[in-house]
Amino acid sequence: MEEPIAFDMLSELATSLTEAGGEITSEPRFEAKIGRSYVDFLLDARFSEAPFKLVVEAKKSAFPRDVREAIWQLKRYIAGMPSGNARVLPLLMADSISPGARALLREEKIGYFDRSGSLYLSADNLFVLIEKPALKRQARSLNSLFVGSRAQALHGVWTFKDQWFGVHELAERASVSPTTASQVLIELERREWVDSKGAGPSKERMLANPRALLDEWSSYIASLKPKSLRLYYMRMANIDEAIHEIDRICDETGIRYEISGLMAGQIHAPHLSKISQIHYRIDHGGENLLLNLGAKAVKEGWNLGIIDSDPRHDFLFRQRVNHVWVTDPLQTYLDLLQLDSGRSKELAEHLRLTKLAVPE
């Protein structure tokens, strides 16, 4: 990390240490070396009159792979330090630290501090944990994988499951550019969500940590506002006849659609005894479909909810199940998490356990 940035963050670190009952008692010593080992800087601090020496490695951003390198660097440096009266506190300081990286640091009892003001320290007779919400720009950086064409590529990675695949295979399956596919895979390697083998154009990856991927994606989805729906009422004898009638009309008129929400969850992993509302994404021509169905816009008492669709990203991974088109299990799970609907979260958990095979 560049020195001006480190100086700026040091001021923020001092503030957080003060909030936690500590204080910095020396000027930082930058690029401290012991033999061939080095860290970015050393800093003296005090907690409840007890002296501590902070051994700090600084990064611009930190994901699990970066953290493993930093942990190795810190431990190697500390092993060579002469004994002294002050207890040693290793610390990783970064502009942003991913959830997976934080968990790894806590597991190794390595302290961390980031730009949000979050602070973790662990030593004999000292434990500090201050967790603060990510700043907007931190959130944009950490969550960029889950937006737009990158999310499309990430979805494509999921579909390979336990198969090895290359950049161009991913680009083709997810309908993204090879550049986007490559950028996403590099980010996944930093998060340690994929294994890799080979090098250069023949390099391949395989999804290695689906749980971590799903945890962070679902956490991001849960932070968003509920999906906005256009609400309609249509006459139907029963819900099964309705979805097959919609399929027939769409097939005859060439309109792409996919069932989502509770009905899609029920199709993939039956769990609820009754569903009275259907969620759909409908491509161009949806207004004609609604006219053919005699659907009327309503504010309450609806049984047909239309989710706004983006033809660039939607419909790509839909599946034909029971003679209708439905969102695949992953998209169904993510949609259920974002629906403001009675039992959607319950069905999402059931779907995760049964079809995604990733426990909470």
Residue in 50, 34, 246 with CA at minimum distance from that of residue 42: 34
**Could you tell me the CA-to-CA distances from 236 to 36, 178, 272, 285 in Å, in that order?**
76, 45, 20, 21
pLDDT by residue (tens digit) across 6-20?
A: 667 888 898 899 988
Q: Which residue has the higher pLDDT, 227 or 132?
A: 132
pLDDT by residue (tens digit) across 55-95?
A: 999 888 899 998 999 999 999 999 998 888 889 999 999 99
Mean pLDDT of the chain: 90
The CATH number of 138-222 is: 1.10.10.10
Residue boundaries of the structural domains of the chain: 3-133, 138-222, 229-354
* Angle made by CA atoms 134, 26, 42, in degrees to the nearest 5: 65
Q: So what's the pLDDT on residue 149?
A: 94
In this structure, the number of other CB atoms found within 10 A of the CB of residue 243 comes to 22
pLDDT by residue (tens digit) across 219-265?
A: 999 888 887 889 999 998 889 999 999 999 999 989 999 999 999 99
Q: Where are the beta strands (DSSP E) in 48-174?
A: 50-62, 87-97, 111-114, 119-123, 126-130
Per-residue pLDDT at 36 exceeds 70: yes
Q: Encode 59-84: b = buried (16+ Cβ within 10 Å), e = exposed.
A: bebbbbbbbeebbebbeebbeeeeee
Fold annotation for 229-354: Beta Polymerase; domain 2 (3.30.460)
As a whole number, mean pLDDT of residues 324-343 equals 91
Q: Does domain 3-133 have CATH number 3.40.1350.10?
A: yes
Amino acid code (one letter) for 47 = F
Q: So what's the pLDDT on residue 191?
A: 93
Structure tokens at 306: 């239309």
CA pair distance 148, 150, nearest whole angstrom:
5
Per-residue pLDDT at 339 exceeds 90: no
